[in-house]
């Protein structure tokens, strides 16, 4: 009983520290992915965030606004610091920012790091919105891992 209460308190703390994007992705995964008898579930980030976009950028902690501007190719005026262990997700549609948010992924999930596009700071570009989700760990302590799914996987 005590052990169960500790896990509940820890889960409440982690969820309370989640940003909006964290919360949306976690709720979507939990309501759409059963992980019963299968190792992989597929989600579409456009459905999760209810936003249409062409490109998704992921910037790591301490990335500066001028570095973001250089990568996305348009002025970026948000000087809000990307704090430790957080990432900033920026969605573009027709070269305009349609969504941005910081999220804490250390204990919850992480996007595949295969699409890194910058050497001096962490930045990844995703042109697909479909991701495979794998649940790693047990029910008491687990991580969701989101990996890129090629566009033709559903053809």
Tens digits of per-residue pLDDT, 91-140?
Answer: 999 999 999 998 876 545 666 555 667 666 788 888 888 888 888 877 77
Q: Whole-model pTM?
A: 0.76
Q: What is the pLDDT of residue 85?
A: 76
Q: What is the pLDDT of residue 136?
A: 80
Tally Cβ neighbours within 10 Å of residue 53: 20
pLDDT at 9 over 60: no
Better pLDDT: 12 or 87: 87
Better pLDDT: 143 or 78: 78
Q: What is the pLDDT of residue 121?
A: 76
Domain spans, the chain: 2-154
Better pLDDT: 52 or 114: 52
Q: Across residues 29-43, what is the average pLDDT?
A: 83
Q: What is the pLDDT of residue 98?
A: 96
Q: Find out whether 131 and 89 touch, Cβ atoms under 8 Å.
A: no
Q: What is the pLDDT of residue 43?
A: 92
Q: What is the 3-state secondary structure (H, E, C) of the chain?
A: CHHHHHHHHHHHHHHHCCCHHHHHHHHHHHHHCCCCCCCCEEEEHHHHHCCCCCEEEEECCCCCHHHHHHHHCCCCCCCCCCCCCEEEEEEEECCEEEEEEEEECCCCEEECHHHECCCCCCEEEECCCEEEEEEEECCCCEEEEEEECCHHHHC
pLDDT at 37 over 90: no
Q: How far apart are CA 139 and CA 155, in angstroms?
A: 33
Q: What is the pLDDT of residue 96?
A: 96
Q: What is the pLDDT of residue 54?
A: 94
């Amino acid at each position: 009983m005590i052990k169960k209460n500790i896990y509940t308190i820890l889960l409440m703390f982690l969820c309370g520290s989640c940003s909006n994007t964290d919360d949306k992705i976690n709720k979507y995964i939990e309501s759409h992915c059963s992980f019963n008898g299968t190792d992989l579930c597929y989600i579409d980030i456009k459905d999760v965030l209810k936003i249409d976009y062409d490109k998704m950028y992921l910037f790591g902690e301490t990335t500066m606004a001028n570095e973001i501007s250089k990568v996305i190719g348009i002025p970026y005026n948000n000087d809000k610091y990307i704090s430790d262990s957080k990432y900033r997700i920026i969605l573009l549609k027709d070269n305009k920012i349609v969504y941005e948010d910081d999220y804490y992924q250390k204990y919850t999930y992480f996007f595949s790091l295969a699409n890194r596009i910058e050497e001096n700071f962490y930045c990844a570009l995703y042109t697909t919105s479909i991701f495979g989700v794998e649940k790693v760990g047990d029910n008491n302590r687990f991580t969701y891992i989101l990996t890129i799914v090629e566009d033709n996987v559903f053809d």
